Structure 1
Amino acid sequence: MLRNRLAIVLLTALAPAIWGSTYLVTTELLPPGRPLLAGVLRALPAGLLLIALTRRLPTGSWWWRSLVLGTLNIGAFFALLFVAAYRLPGGVAATVGAVQPLIAAGLSAALLGDRLSPRTLLSGIAGVAGVSLLVLRAGAQLDALGIVAALGGAVVMATGVVLSKRWASPAPLLATTGWQLTAGGLLLLPVAFLVEGPPPSHLTGANLLGYGYLSLIGAAVAYALWFRGIRALPPTSVTFLGLLSPVVATALGWLVLGQDLSPVQALGALIVLGSLVAAQTQRPRTPSRTVTGPPAGVPSDDSGRQTNGRTHQSA
């Protein structure tokens, strides 16, 4: 069982690690000033592809549940991240977003009956401290609306993770992932058009490569792994893994872009990794409850950041 859990944790951790590469892809391959367009092209084609592959549409209550989950996990999260990224320095936005595991822990206690332990609280505080050391810069300017947007992004993503656990889908994993990506992409589409205008008339090969990577790897693959983790692990454990995104983004900036990595940043990365290990090695006291499962006689297949170049948050 320990080996199986470790394998699930490592596979789930690949999702935020992939999202950490969004910073590099955005700055090096995508046209500038189009984060919402990137969010649409990241989510919508991937969602439609998964629906086409699985040939399965939602039924019954899963029409509105897919819309709610897609809004929380993707559409609203990307939009709030866009506002935070434009109104705050990247380090501030990432530090505020790092409170997501603490929010998820509170929601899990309220909605799923999970126990909120001192170890979880301490790990969450350590995670916020580690991210701040990793990406926060002295003299960073604060903006009230930006702070609210960054905090709102953490809240909606944490809520989406907990509700994804509470609402156990009877559909295959890839189908459920496709529903949410499509719903989130459709929600973002008019917002991107109103805020950023029509798509660019000309896209380079590098642009297409970047959008393709974000859609196939950053959305279809990463979100499938993420939602698979939500099905198998406690929601709080999953959200702690999201702290890997700023660590990976900083590491890639150092390795690929030649950005400086100070001893303080290295210490922050070690603190973040320590908080992740502490959260993953804690055995849950109370199994998470799920409300909706497959009807009797129906088998269940238990087979998931956008940034404008200024933030190291996850998506």
Structure 2
Amino acid sequence: MRTNASDLLLTAIAPAVWGSTYIVATEFLPNFSPMTVAMLRALPAGLLLLSIVRRFPTGVWWLRSFVLGALNISIFLSMLFVAVYRLPGGVAATVAAVQPLFAVFLASVLLASPVRPLSILAALVGIGGVALLVLTPHAALDTVGVAAGLTGAVSMAVGNILTRKWQPPVSLLTFTAWQLTAGGILLVPVVLMFEPAIPAPTITNLFGLVWLGLIGSALTYVLWFRGIARLESAVVSPLLFLSPLIAVLLGWLILNQTLSSLQIFGVGLVIGSIWLSQRPAR
């Protein structure tokens, strides 16, 4: 199956933008709790899209929307922000980088897709590249943070596979609105019962929330789900390696963090893993 270059590039925009999540969360939202940020990222974006499409699920799609909303939005985003706030950004990104490897095997179970040795090799090369990029001698490990990162990676892998398996009878915009809204709704009781009160937002906080919600969710999830529907899982999942790559580059450009020779080599491995995953199956 030949990969369409325009579909690949549009899909790649999503993980590239998601690479800004760490720097936005830590620099613009330092006093917010992880679940609160996850809810504020998903629910307003979902309600905005829902107000545009003005269409609700019917029949079995109520259940499927909440299942996919939980996997792709609620669990994934909440665990992502737990990892972001508890781990250095590089360590959190490295843990999340195992998602493509999970996706290879899950696709074989849920979609009956063959397990391509090239896909496994690409995922392992990508993980190695991310590790070189972000695991420095000063990187600290936190058990809860690592567990949260792994949980989020597995949740998104399952959600992506089911998204491809359950082709919706509606437009991509509507499908994205359902998932973001359902995922945000599921987080509301968690935030109300277990999280501290939301602090009074400053201009900086509002900028961070708008970026994460409108650009980092409403726009990017539309592009991501579009790619999942049009491309093979083995092709889409390795694009997630762009997130830690962009995170490190933003740290270099904005926070004046330096790149060592090993990190530069890691950049090459990440790019190489993405290229390797796009090679057509024979």
Specify the TM-score bucket, using the shorter chain as the normaliser.
Answer: over 0.9
Q: CA deviation at 1:79?
A: 2.1
Partner of 2:247: 249
**What amino acid does structure 2 have at the position aligned with 1:179?**
W
Contact 2:37 2:81 in 1 (8 A): no
Cα distance change, pair 142–255 in 1 and its aligned pair in 2 (3 A)? closer
Match of 1:239 among 229, 237, 247: 237
Going by fraction, where is helix more abundant, 1 or 2? 2
Partner of 2:197: 198
Q: Deviations over 1:53-112 (max 9, x none)?
A: 011100110000000001000101122223334444433332221111111010111111
Aligned: 1:32 with 2:26? no
Query: Aligned equivalents of 2:243 and 2:139: distance in 1?
Result: 21
* 1:241-280 correspondence runs (5 A): 241-280=239-278
TM-score by length of 2: 0.94
Q: CA deviation at 1:154?
A: 0.9
Q: Deviations over 1:236-294 (max 9, x none)?
A: 211111110010111111112211111111111110110001102234x7xxxxxxxxx
Cα distance change, pair 249–140 in 1 and its aligned pair in 2 (3 A)? closer
What is the aligned residue count?
282
Aligned: 1:167 with 2:139? no
Query: Aligned equivalents of 1:144 and 1:215: distance in 2?
Result: 28
Contact 2:90 2:248 in 1 (8 A): no
Off by >6 Å, runs of 4+ in structure 1: none
TM-score by length of 1: 0.84
* 1:1-315 correspondence runs (5 A): 5-138=4-137, 140-200=139-199, 202-283=200-281
Aligned-partner SS, 1:60: coil
Query: Aligned equivalents of 1:57 and 1:233: distance in 2?
Result: 26
Partner of 1:299: none
Query: Aligned equivalents of 1:25 and 1:89: distance in 2?
Result: 13
What fraction of aligned residue pairs are identical, expressed as a percent?
52
User: Any gaps of 5 or more consecutive residues in structure 2?
Assistant: none
Query: Aligned equivalents of 2:40 and 2:90: distance in 1?
Result: 25
**What amino acid does structure 2 have at the position aligned with 1:177?**
T
